[in-house]
Structure 1
């Protein structure tokens, strides 16, 4: 049965419109093909590869990221490992402040119950955070004193468990934009970050 003239005209119009849309829709695809994308300029620098540390290296992969193996000397790590010690790494905390870009390290033999451990830490810190942390520590009984390297804040002699030859226990050293931490004032000297 032949289609009525109006329906046949409508069918032709719909078909033409569909073909026109199909033809138009293929145009953008040719624009976004890989061949159509601009090539990088010939002077673009090659991407730099991340250098992985060797097995005996204590240097971290990134110069900006402190790690437990990077903030103390490799020779000290070798001594710890010879004793069967390992490390537990945590976020650096001082008073009520967490410094997420820092690292706090507890070295010891965790296969046995023992309080024979060593603590080290390093973190970047703002002057505002530094002032707040020092104030909180002193308010809770810690002692503060000026040092040639910065401000030393050490735990009260009444609460310390382990001390160095000078009688200092847990100690923070606040410098210009950074804070170091160790189980004694003398051990602060072992924290070497950032590396030169």
Structure 2
């Protein structure tokens, strides 16, 4: 299994820098607030979640950085002068087929201020393995009605949302999404 460092490295040092900048940003962020707080460390369940027989979900439409999040959020980011750099969604050095990761930032300014949104189809077996890998490296698991959240330990998170969550993955049935904060996951909608 790859270490958490390798998991973050695949998203690139840019993601780490962007995640660190999110907490220090000024102005309004287009990310809505939620009303939960980081949970306690929970070990991975013995039964894979989502079900190990799940096949990866197919996006119902072609995805790119302009369609992964709501059009009004894209417009607000463009109004700020930001644009997106699209990359492969990856755990460690291994890209997830048909997945994307979008790094939104101001391309004219050398800055570590930005946002991350990503989505990928993933099988239940691979999801369970990735969840267990992250938890074994100190990430925190929380089960919910939406799926399984795996978030960076708040004591080591580079940036945090208003509820104390840093970089977070959300594993659903046949898919996984990621954002630099848990609040950012609310915006990711591959169905449009």
TM range (shorter): 0.5 to 0.7
Q: Does 1:115 align with 2:144?
A: no
What is residue 179 of structure 2 aligned with on the other side?
Answer: 182
| Larger CA Rg, structure 1 vs 2 | 1
Q: Secondary structure at the match of 1:87?
A: strand
Higher mean alpha-carbon deviation, 86-95 vs 115-124, is at 86-95
Paired position in structure 1 for 2:86 = 89
Superposition RMSD in Å: 1.5
Preserved CA contact (<8 Å) 2:141 2:150: yes
Map 1:18-57 to 2 at 5 A. none
Listed one character per residue, the Cα deviations across residues 67-96 of structure 1 (whole Å, up to 9, x for unaligned) are: 111110111111111111011000111356
Moved over 6 A (4+): none
Decide whether the 8 Å contact of 1:95 with 1:136 is kept in 2. Answer: no
1:92-139 residue CA offsets vs partner (Å, 9 max, x unmatched): 113564212011000001222212100001111001110111111112
More helix by share: 1
**Which residue matches 2:150?**
153
Query: Structure 1 unaligned runs (5+)?
Result: 1-61
Q: Which residue of 2 aligns with 1:103?
A: 100
Tell me how many residue pairs correspond in the alignment. 134
TM-score (norm 1): 0.65
Give TM-score scaled by structure 2 length.
0.66
Q: Which runs of 5+ in 2 are unaligned?
A: 1-58
